[in-house]
Amino acid sequence: MSEVKVPELAESITEGTISEWLKSVGDQVEKGENIVELETDKVNVEVISEVAGVLTEIKAEEGDTVEVGSVIAVVSDGEAQPASNDAKPEKQEEPSKEDAGKPEATEATEATEATEATETKEESASSNERIQATPSARRLAREKGIDLSKVKTQAGDVIRPEDVESAAKPQPQAKPAEKSQPAQAKSNDNPSKPVVREKLSRRRQTIAKKLLEVSNNTAMLTTFNEVDMTNVMELRKRKKEKFQEDHNGTRLGFMSFFTKAAVAALKKYPDVNAEIDGTDLVLKQFYDIGIAVSTEEGLVVPIVKDCDKKNFAEIEQDIVDLAVKAKDKKLGLDDMMGGSFTITNGGVFGSLMSTPIINGTQAAILGMHSIVTRPIAIDKDRMENRPMMYIALSYDHRIIDGKQAVGFLKTIKDLIENPEDLLLES
């Protein structure tokens, strides 16, 4: 017999939620086979069986929260047995003809019932003897089978015949009190306004908690700028086919340009690549960039590691791979851990401008938005329609001053508008 326990997940994760049992009690389980899926704050984790055998017990149901190290199932040695139809229920003994039609009461039961009836009559008679009543009232009560203790007197303390007559009359039955109905939810008070109540998923609860913590625990501020995308779009148009041929089908997108620009700006403004730990400022000497990805269950931020050491093609391929894993719920904890800076692109959904919220303990986040053709003044005499993008930098004002934030965003703008310089920076 082997116990299935919740494995160690990550330093900051101490529990998870049973998302789905992949096996049922009685199923055959192979060694190393996935038997249950756990939903954690960051990713879904599949738990395997360490031995081969039969799943004989499940100790936690889907939706239950379980802590690291707790036992959630038991796998026993052996093989699953096929269901058998040979077993037949035992034949019940049929009653004899003499007993047919008689109530199933034993002699002891009948004796007990007779004794109880006798005791009740005796108690009632004794009680009647103690009650003050006239002889005629007592005689009338015996004739009508009325318990004198339940007769109410109309005058004085002595029960009279008229009191017995009054008690003998059928009393109007009180209307049974209506059972109080439990208070219904406000949503049911107005059937024309139906609602559906659903429990938040563990990940959505975590997202809500983390975002609220960031809002409450940082001095967050956002600064904006706009980028003329003309040059980078022309470069991408000229080079995208050759780029795709040279890098095994990897497409050249805008994210690699902004990721490389962010790395260059982080090197120029190192406080943006930092975080506060108590009374210390931790300056990170690595450039692991989180790329926000939208999934059905909410926003996740997988990490592209060592962006300063990777070329455009490697960054683009990593972004594609992580996005596919996120949508397929295949992200591992290592894909989510770390990260020194985050980029989010609301432009893919049509966002023109936003104030993104900082991710975790990081100091800042870059927001990209829709590319919109707008008339731009080239100089005093010329106007041209240019593809423009608003960019935003939300930052923790405890670490980063406004001058640094504006300078960081200006660096991004200059490198995107002059992509040749970006290649030199890389």
Active site residues: 397, 401
Angle ∠(56,61,63) on CA atoms, nearest 5: 155
Residue 416 burial class via C-beta count within 10 angstroms: exposed 0-12, middle 13-18, buried 19 and up: buried
Alpha-carbon gap, residue 363 to 378, rounded angstroms: 35
What are the φ/ψ torsions at residue 351 (nearest 5 degrees)?
A: -70, 130
Cα torsion angle, 288, 294, 299, 300, sign: negative
User: Counting Cβ atoms within 10 Å, is residue 256 exposed (0-12), middle (13-18) or buried (19+)?
Assistant: buried
CA neighbor of 62 nearest in space, from 20, 122, 13, 116: 20
Pairing of strands 341-345, 289-291: parallel
Q: Which helix (H) or strand (E) element contains residue 114?
A: helix 107-130
The whole-angstrom separation of Cα 271 and Cα 399 is 7
Q: Can you read off the two tokens belonging to residue 210?
A: 């983390």
Q: How far apart are CA 412 and CA 421, in angstroms?
A: 11
